[in-house]
Chain A
């Protein structure tokens, strides 16, 4: 299949004079999963709906494999979208929900049946048990699977997922996340996965685009974005970060796991004295919050292995890090 590459260029969209997307440019590589990560209200759902064709932008372009589809309505785009609240058809049973897109394409009844059953199997719903159930009788995870089956059954060129796992509990979420990945790899559909959850974004995405206040502020491979965050927003939203202003270096980010507490001589290029303010046990790691004075009062977060010495609030320590742990930020 190969899939299509989706490119979004300079999208601007306002609702009633209220700018929601100020300038969004991003790329979703063919056949891969791109996560669109951002805090709620940053415009990511709106951008997804523009890619779907459910909304048209005020300016900018949407390209599928170089073809301009900016003003093509969704029914002519061959996309599949899973909505945040799933949006299953409440008056139809599981079979008719999944068959909907095939019937819209006027596919013959016997092929509809074959493909609906296969799609249900792909999302691990036994057709014999579930096909003729009402969607209102299903659990959250099962409804989620129906929504996914309804979308992939039409073999879309682009799969758009809008926080599809937002309302599920942790375990179901983990399992479905793995299944979505497996399914996507098997089908090779270009997928854009919207989420506000950074762990979900890291887990599922081959490529990541981070949005803030209506702009795509950085995109790239997750590791690359983590290692070289463009600004303080990215540094602290994608992973955790200490943002420190150091005279000569300017504004830098230091990851908590790169902070060394009471470093040996020569082990750290920067050292600042501080006082432990809080200590949070996190299982394998212990999170320390250390108040330091870098000209202005700052709290440095440090993650240390649980056995690496005992620290308690009030204790005086030195925090330090290596030169290469500092990530310069713009602004």
Chain B
């Protein structure tokens, strides 16, 4: 593997040690602040808060009570609609950035788009709340959705732009020279070739918006109650740790499954390209 090809066992040991030292700070940090709490969280999700004994009751309630299912449904709907809306808004812009814009104007267009996102997230959400009043919109589902789209647009736009900008422009010229009308150019060439970007964008936006807490609690009013808000209220308002933990574990597992399938699809897609 290495150039030279005659590594002694001691040398390999040295390299392993060096690698371990490089990696150690991250492992320690994540273990203390993420993996250990996650293990603890999954433990308490199986504990009956009243008796202290192990139980599946928390999960049973999460999966069967209509209240929780409705919260899941709303969160999922908001997440999917956010993905769809960001995709519809970002795709033409990313296309223009990649193919229409002159190389001189491209940095300005990207900066102009990103500047709003340099402002603190919470600050923007609060500003957005006031803006909605100015525009005469009420708190609720639509307001939540608009704010979510606004928050997550860059996470869709940047991967899309990245995947479009690596498409060889002569591939598009080839499609046109072969007689492809615009619709075919889009459906058979541009969208399939930008699939990796679409997948990454959709994955990021859906994972983040599924558990979003700040936007729906500021803008959702009384109609919108999401998984993020539910977890918050179970832990910090209701003191129902077992239930909150079970709900959290379900969301973590769902996100991991989603991420796993998305990355598999992406790998398949990359092989095709």
Contact = CB atoms under 8 A, between A and B. Distances in A.
Contacts of B102: 16
Interface string B160-171: 000000001011
Contact of B177 (A52, A90, A103): A52
A85 B168 contact: yes
Interface size class of A (residues with CB under 8 A): 20 to 34
B176 A87 contact: no
B179 interface: yes
B179 A87 contact: no
A81 B174 contact: yes
A100 B273 contact: no
Interface string B81-93: 0000000000000
A87 B177 CA distance: 11
B190 to A, nearest CB: 11
Interface residues of B, number: 20
B237 to A, nearest CB: 50
B180 interface: yes
Contacts of A154: 178-179
Interface stretch (B38-46, B136-144, B145-153, B181-189): B181-189
A83 B174 contact: yes
A309 B175 CA distance: 59
A85 B170 CA distance: 8
Classify the secondary structure of B's interface with A.
helix
A104 B170 contact: no
Contact of A75 (B180, B188, B193): B180
A87 B180 contact: no
Nearest to B169: A87
B178 A54 contact: no
B176 A74 contact: yes
B192 interface: yes
A105 interface: yes
22 contacts: A49-B173, A73-B176, A74-B176, A80-B177, A80-B178, A83-B170, A83-B173, A88-B174, A89-B174, A90-B193, A91-B192, A91-B193, A91-B272, A100-B178, A101-B178, A101-B179, A103-B184, A105-B179, A136-B273, A150-B174, A150-B178, A154-B179
Interface of B: 102, 168, 170-171, 173-181, 184, 188-189, 192-193, 272-273
List the 3 shortest-distance A-B pairs measured between CB atoms, nearest first. Answer: A101-B178, A87-B170, A87-B174
